[in-house]
Structures are given as structure tokens and as C-alpha cells.
């Protein structure tokens, strides 16, 4: 598995689980069919600049740094202005067409931005399929993407 894909999965795990130890990452990834060593996770944590924050049920858990969370919105807006060709929504599904080569980076930022309301995201070279948890979430995501990318359309 490529590092970029693993980092995307780790980001997703941070939103779904209270990951307290590096070994927790290894175990959760193994449950999802991703074999990785603790040493690799250690390097990923360093590269992603993960921090430890208080967990709701006591102790500390890994989290993305606050600055990165704030930067996501700015990066996403810039990328969507440049890369999005169209965005369409049907029920819980959002389809985003991008310029070739831009879907992966866009999907990564979209997942970070909408992690709480997304079920999953799939992408190839120039398109992204996002599945929201509810139809209302999908409408909100579609509207926000359309607004952020409107200068290009």
C-alpha cells in the first residue's frame, strides 16, 4: 500500500476511533486488511505531525494538529476552484468531476472536511464518488463544493 493511501486511512481512523497507541493503529489496520508494522506507523505519525489530545473516556488519543484542520478548508477551497469541473448529487451520493490527476488530492481534503457526515469516498484519476450518511448531508456537501468551486464553473 502506498504511503499516501495509508495516510488517508489513518486520517479516517482518527475520526472514527479513539486511537491511543501506535499498536492500536496496527491492530485496526490489520482488521481492515492492511498489514503494517509499528515502525511504519511511528514514521507515519511523525510525517503526519499527529498530536495527543485528551480522550473523552480518559487518557490521551492521537489527533491531527489543529493548524492542519484549519488549513484543510483553505486548501480545499483553492483546489476546488482550480480542479472541479462539475458536482452533482442524487440521494446520498455526490459525484465530483475534476481535471485529470486532481481527484485523489481533492478526495483526501473532502474526506477531512466532511468526515463526520460521510460514509465513504471513492475516487479515480478524475472523479470522486462521495456517499453521505443522510440525504440532507449530501445536499449540504454538494452545495458547499459548488460554492467553493464556482469561480471555475
- pLDDT tens per residue, range 81-93: 999 999 999 999 9
pLDDT value of position 69: 56
pLDDT value of position 153: 47
pLDDT tens by residue, 3-61: 888 998 998 899 888 899 999 999 999 998 999 999 999 999 999 989 888 888 888 99
pLDDT value of position 96: 97
Please state the φ and ψ torsions of residue 116, each to the nearest 5 degrees: -75, -20
Strands 118-123 and 127-132: what pairing?
A: antiparallel
Q: What is the sign, positive or negative, of the torsion defined by CA atoms of 144, 49, 31, 5?
A: positive
pLDDT tens by residue, 102-135: 898 899 889 988 988 999 999 999 999 999 999 9
Is the full-model pTM beyond 0.75? no
What is the DSSP track for 42-87? Answer: HHHHHHHT-EEEE-TTSSEEEE--HHHHHHHHHHHHHHHHHHEEEE
Neighbours of 112 (CB within 10 A): 22
Q: Is it the case that residue 151 has pLDDT exceeding 70?
A: no
pLDDT-derived band at 138 (thresholds 50, 70, 90) equals very high
Amino acid at each position: 500500500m502506498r504511503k499516501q493511501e495509508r495516510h488517508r486511512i489513518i486520517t479516517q481512523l482518527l475520526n472514527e476511533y479513539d486511537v491511543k497507541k501506535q499498536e492500536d493503529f496496527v491492530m485496526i489496520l490489520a482488521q481492515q486488511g492492511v498489514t503494517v508494522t509499528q515502525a511504519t506507523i511511528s514514521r507515519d505519525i511523525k510525517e503526519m505531525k499527529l498530536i495527543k489530545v485528551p480522550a473523552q473516556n480518559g487518557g490521551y488519543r492521537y489527533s491531527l494538529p489543529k493548524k492542519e484542520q484549519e488549513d484543510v478548508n483553505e486548501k480545499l477551497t483553492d483546489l476546488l476552484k482550480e480542479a472541479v469541473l462539475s458536482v452533482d448529487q442524487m440521494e446520498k451520493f455526490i459525484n465530483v468531476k475534476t481535471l485529470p490527476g486532481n481527484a485523489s488530492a481533492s478526495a483526501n481534503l473532502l474526506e477531512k472536511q466532511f468526515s463526520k457526515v460521510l460514509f465513504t469516498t471513492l475516487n479515480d484519476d478524475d472523479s470522486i464518488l462521495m456517499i453521505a450518511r443522510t440525504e440532507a448531508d449530501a445536499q449540504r456537501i454538494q452545495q458547499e463544493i459548488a460554492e467553493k468551486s464556482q469561480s471555475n464553473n
